[in-house]
A = this chain, B = another copy of it.
Amino acid sequence: MAGNTFGQLFRITTFGESHGEAIGVIIDGCPAQLDIDLDYIQGELDKRKPGQSKITTQRKEADTVKILSGVFEGKTTGTPIAMIIPNEDQRSKDYSHNTDVFRPSHADYTYHSKYGIRDHRGGGRSSARETAARVAAGAVAKLMLKAKGIEVIAHVSSVGKIDAPNVDISNPQAFIEEREKNIVRCVDPATAEEMIEKIDNIRKQGDTIGGKVTCFITNCPVGLGEPVFDKLHADLGKAMLSINAVHGFEYGSGFEGSEMQGSDHNDLFVNTGDQIRTLTNYSGGIQGGISNGMPINFKVAFKPVATIMTNQQTVDANGDAAEIQGKGRHDPCVVPRAVPIVEAMAALVIADHYLRNQTAIL
């Protein structure tokens, strides 16, 4: 039983391998009458696409998205929205040396063991190329949320041990503009510079490094999220953990919160006249699994990319010892290109729960 579908009411199904003809996505459940801005969708894809700077992979993909259905005269019709992104710069021969050898900390061995067959060209279905389809679908979800005033914004908060300070999220548009001024996508310019230098050094060593992305959802209405299993943060967590290379997720006070005492951690309610809000936000905008109107925030930890340019010991499909050296064109650090993916998956979760909440009360 495969698992290529995500969401309940705003539901996406992705398809496609790294080196096949195309990848794509079907969105089922997007409400009718939403204005579709194709340039916006393409713009989101451009933030994820390879070859955009010296600190990303040099694979060249235009990643041009095409809508095949579900949109009529610029508006959604309530029917499935199919989007397709052709693969162009496939260079499968880069991977011919990997046919029978399992790359360390990749999915080669597990796919081979599970299915007895695998498309060995560049990771096939396990490649992060699949996330382009998520970004396209997430852009539609973002358009839906924007129509309701909800914004989903993320940036690179850590590269290795370099951490960004807290950043201002009061103006989502300014946040995005500031972030896009540098190639590492960290809102704080000084930290960004440090991060870029670090990644560039790592790249020159043929090595890779991990990092973290922090995401915020602002102006989210009270009431999104369902008891018991489909808590809003549980679905956000699953969404993030389904992204390639993610090893950790925390929201609100997160892991640090587990070291605190209740008397410090509790978020006291106040009525500001305009709205009921909390003095602190250790809850991360979610209480009992349901949004409480405060900004939602969470952090996602990415491991270092597994493909490195040095020799490594491994085994082949016969179980014999083998040696492998990274080839192909890979990212020294995944987080700059992960920012739009994190935003896309978050937007999909929020859009889904927005729709689910429509039926809470008779």
Question: Cβ of A110 and Cβ of B290 under 8 Å apart?
Answer: yes
Whether A194 sits at the interface, judged by CB under 8 Å, is no
Residues of B with C-beta under 8 A to A307? 262
Whether A55 sits at the interface, judged by CB under 8 Å, is no
Residues of B with C-beta under 8 A to A161? 259
Whether A26 sits at the interface, judged by CB under 8 Å, is yes
Question: Cβ of B23 and Cβ of A69 under 8 Å apart?
Answer: yes
Residues of B with C-beta under 8 A to A17? 69-70, 72, 79
Whether A174 sits at the interface, judged by CB under 8 Å, is no
Residues of B with C-beta under 8 A to A306? 262, 265-266
A29 to B69, CA, bound (A): 23
Whether A282 sits at the interface, judged by CB under 8 Å, is yes
Question: Cβ of B258 and Cβ of A115 under 8 Å apart?
Answer: no
A79 to B70, CA, bound (A): 24
The number of chain A residues with a CB under 8 A from chain B is 148
Residues of B with C-beta under 8 A to A165? none
Q: How many copies of this chain are found per oligomer?
A: 4
Whether A254 sits at the interface, judged by CB under 8 Å, is yes
Q: Residue-by-residue, is A1-18 near B (CB-CB < 8 Å gives 1, otherwise 0)? A: 111111011010111110
Q: Which of B6, B104, B231, B288 contacts A241 (CB 8 A)?
A: B231
CB closest chain-B residue, reference A29: B2
Which segment, of A38-46, A124-132, A175-183, A185-193, faces chain B?
Answer: A124-132
A67 to B111, CA, bound (A): 21
Question: Cβ of B249 and Cβ of A248 under 8 Å apart?
Answer: yes
Residues of B with C-beta under 8 A to A252? 247, 303
CB closest chain-B residue, reference A35: B362
Residues of B with C-beta under 8 A to A248? 248-251, 254-255, 257-258
Residues of B with C-beta under 8 A to A13? 5, 13, 26, 28, 80
Q: Residue-by-residue, is A280-293 near B (CB-CB < 8 Å gives 1, otherwise 0)? A: 00111011111110
Question: Cβ of B258 and Cβ of A227 under 8 Å apart?
Answer: no
Given A16-B69, A109-B276, A257-B301, CB of A321 within 8 Å of CB of B271: yes
Question: Cβ of B33 and Cβ of A26 under 8 Å apart?
Answer: no
Q: Which of B239, B242, B250 contacts A247 (CB 8 A)?
A: B250
Question: Cβ of B282 and Cβ of A105 under 8 Å apart?
Answer: yes
Question: Cβ of A226 and Cβ of B1 under 8 Å apart?
Answer: yes
Could you tell me the distance in whole angstroms from the C-beta of A131 to the nearest C-beta in chain B? 9
Question: Cβ of A223 and Cβ of B113 under 8 Å apart?
Answer: yes
Known: A257-B304, A269-B313, A270-B321. 4 other contacts (CB 8 A): A15-B26, A24-B82, A160-B259, A268-B314
7 A-B pairs with least C-beta separation: A107-B288, A3-B230, A248-B250, A3-B226, A208-B262, A110-B290, A238-B238
11 sampled A-B residue pairs with Cβ under 8 A: A33-B115, A77-B124, A105-B265, A105-B266, A233-B241, A234-B241, A247-B252, A248-B254, A254-B301, A261-B304, A268-B314
